[in-house]
Amino acid sequence: MKIFIDGKYYDRNEARISVFDHGLLYGDGVFEGIRIYGGKIFRLRDHIDRLYDSAKSILLDIPMSKPDMEKAVSDTVRINERSEGYIRLVVTRGKGELGLDPAQCEKPTVVIIAGDIQLYPQEYYEKGIAVVTSSSRRMPSDSLDPRIKSLNYLNNVLAKIEAKQAGCLEAVMLNHEGYVSECTADNIFLVRSGKLATPAVNCGALGGITRSAVIGIAGSLGVEVREAQLTRYDLYTAEECFMTGTGAEIMPVTKIDGRIIGEGQPGSMTRKLIYEFRKFVEAQ
């Protein structure tokens, strides 16, 4: 494996960043997780745009133009001969001194890793998974806007731990008002009366790339999609429920907090969207 760090490639065992990098010391940085399908990078331009928006929001000047960043990502995939897999693109504030002041950092650090992705077993797509509601709330927008894909993921990590302790793979996170935001690493959708609903981004949901693709696919099928304020009641009484994300793609959810969703198996809308999403990916 060859890892890109600030314009150079290093073997996995030799790839290093400073222990004084503010991404490590303070979580000061942004990232993107991107899929590779059939040698093609899925929606690279959308991911790059979101990365730069996140960086702009925290006053982090990425030391590469967007075209140069796209080329670096594509070159990293090519050099690693990846036809399928996952890209982790990270930009940190860079090496500095101890202390929060970002002005102490001379230049940001750019890291690109192209490797394997740990996929969910096929049986989960066929049977669905159970999730729980986490007691860890989503970061409020007036503290740190969740649309910024930053390295500050501790509340998500705590929610993931809570899910694992409950014997589940994922947890639903609520915002400070009690509305559904998303899962620890995925967006969430529900189906009711042939229509789709998903938490609005102002409820603390990340504007997911896969989420956006699914909304577009649903629209092309004539399915109405509503971005709204949703509560746990809406989830509990949904006819179908599923998560979307880079790793999960479209993952059926068949139980939430012990409540069976619909008939306790992936519904017709979910199965249709899984099928159409895979066709969509192949056509990219």
* pLDDT tens sequence across 27-73: 999 999 999 999 999 999 999 999 999 999 999 999 999 999 999 99
For 31, phi then psi, to 5°, come to: -155, 170
Residues 51 and 30: beta-carbon distance below 8 Å: yes
Q: Buried b / exposed e across 68-91, counting CB within 10 Å, b at 16+?
A: ebbebbbebbeebebeebbbebbb
- The mean pLDDT of 163-186, rounded to a whole number, is 95
Query: What percentage of the chain exceeds 90 in pLDDT?
Result: 90
145 versus 277: which is more confidently predicted? 277
CA gap 55, 96 in Å, rounded: 18
Secondary structure of residue 191 in the 3-state scheme: strand
Nearest alpha-carbon partner for 208 in 172, 184, 174, 235: 184
Judged against a pLDDT cut of 90, whether residue 134 lies above it is answered with yes
Q: In this structure, what token pair is assigned to residue 148?
A: 């910024």
Please spell the DSSP secondary structure of 41-75, one letter per residue: ETTHHHHHHHHHHHHHHTT---SS-HHHHHHHHHH
Judged against a pLDDT cut of 90, whether residue 146 lies above it is answered with no
CB 101: neighbour CB atoms within 10 A?
Answer: 10
Which helix (DSSP H) or strand (DSSP E) does residue 168 occupy? none
Q: Which domains are seen in the chain, by residue range? A: 2-115 (3.30.470.10), 122-282 (3.20.10.10)
Residues 172 and 227: beta-carbon distance below 8 Å: no
Find how far residue 121's CA is from the centre of its chain: 19
What sign for the dihedral angle of Cα 225, 146, 144, 36?
A: negative
CA gap 172, 176 in Å, rounded: 13
Q: In this structure, what token pair is assigned to residue 259?
A: 């409540």
Mean pLDDT of the chain: 95
Determine the residue type at 116: D
Judged against a pLDDT cut of 90, whether residue 215 lies above it is answered with yes
CA gap 164, 175 in Å, rounded: 21
Give the HSE-up count for residue 68: Cα atoms under 13 Å, Cβ half-sphere.
Answer: 7
Mind telling me the catalytic residues? 149
